[in-house]
A and B are shown apart, each in its own frame.
Chain A
Amino acid sequence: EAGVAQSPRYKIIEKRQSVAFWCNPISGHATLYWYQQILGQGPKLLIQFQNNGVVDDSQLPKDRFSAERLKGVDSTLKIQPAKLEDSAVYLCASSLDMRGNTEAFFGQGTRLTVV
């Protein structure tokens, strides 16, 4: 079974530029998550989708971050404009559904460096 795929693996941009990350979840997984992991910290949930609808985006900085999952499969996370404090690893995860005991599977992440 293929895992969660993310691209790119690494990205370096200058502040105020824009950047986009792509995620392809495990086939058949209805729930998709984007997490931000700052160095030395645990992952923080940015947004959660159930199929193509947003379940939770309470911690997404909506003035600069946006995410979509138009067809309920792949997802894109965008930052525009980027700030230095956005330097982090962005992890995509998926789970079969939203039941509270369902494991989430994580991709390898995209490491973003903003200079």
Chain B
Amino acid sequence: AQSVTQLGSHVSVSEGALVLLRCNYSSSVPPYLFWYVQYPNQGLQLLLKYTTGATLVKGINGFEAEFKKSETSFHLTKPSAHMSDAAEYFCAVIRSYTGNQFYFGTGTSLTVIP
């Protein structure tokens, strides 16, 4: 079974509109969840992570995500999209409490329409 699933390989939003990128994870993995962003020809940059504590996590560039154990979800949101948000977004989990091996979803490409 997939450890992490991203729904929607491509998402388009208008500039200023809400961004919602979906991520569901397997309940068999530890609750260590991450969102990374990848700009063209660049490596991955951490947006935010949930490990313990408050379930609403705030990250860089105005993004946030909420850990919902009952729904096994960790969706990424941003209230108002900016042109510079256009990129590939990856949800990732760590599949064991030791080892710190990251497993990534297939990614969601975000397009922002002016």
Residues of A bordering B, CB below 8 Å: 4, 31, 33, 40-45, 48, 55-56, 91, 93, 95, 97-109, 111
Q: Which residues of chain B come closer than 8 Å to A105, judged between CB atoms?
A: 46
Binding site for A on B (CB under 8 A): 9, 30, 32, 34, 36, 41-46, 49, 51-52, 90, 92, 94, 96-107
Q: A95-B100, A108-B41, A108-B43 are in contact. Are A41 and B107 (CB under 8 A)?
A: yes
Q: Which residue of A lies closest to B44 (CB)?
A: A106
List 6 extra interface pairs beyond A48-B101, A102-B100, A104-B46, CB under 8 A: A43-B104, A93-B43, A93-B102, A98-B98, A100-B51, A109-B42
Q: Is the CB of A45 within 8 A of B43?
A: no
Nearest B-chain residue to A9, judged by Cβ:
B41
**B102–A107 contact, CB under 8 A?**
no
CB < 8 Å A-B pair total: 75
Contact of B96 among A4, A40, A91, A100 (CB under 8 A): A100
Task: Assess whether B43 is in contact with A4, with CB atoms less than 8 Å apart.
Answer: yes
Given A42-B106, A100-B94, A101-B52, A106 and B43 touching (CB < 8 A)?
A: yes
CB of A104 within 8 A of CB of B102, answer yes
Interface of B is mostly: loop
C-alpha gap A108/B9 in the complex (Å)? 22
Please give, as numbers and ranges, the residues of chain A lying within 8 Å of B49 by CB-CB distance: 101, 103
Q: Which residues of A contact B107 (CB under 8 A)?
A: 40-42
Residues of chain A within 8 A of B46, CB atoms compared: 103-105
* Minimum distance in angstroms from A51 CB to a CB of chain B: 14
Pair B106/A43 contact, Cβ less than 8 Å: no
Q: Residues of B contacting A44 with CB < 8 Å?
A: 104
How far, in Å, is A59 (CB) from chain B's closest CB? 10
Give the Cβ gap from B40 to chain A, nearest Cβ, in Å.
11
A31 touches B44 (CB 8 A): no
A106 to B36, CA, bound (A): 10
Nearest-CB residue, chain B, relative to A44: B104
Q: Is the CB of A43 within 8 A of B97?
A: no
Question: From B94, which residue of chain A is reached at the shortest CB distance?
Answer: A100
- Report the separation of the CA atoms of residues A45 and B100 in the bound assembly, to the nearest whole angstrom: 11
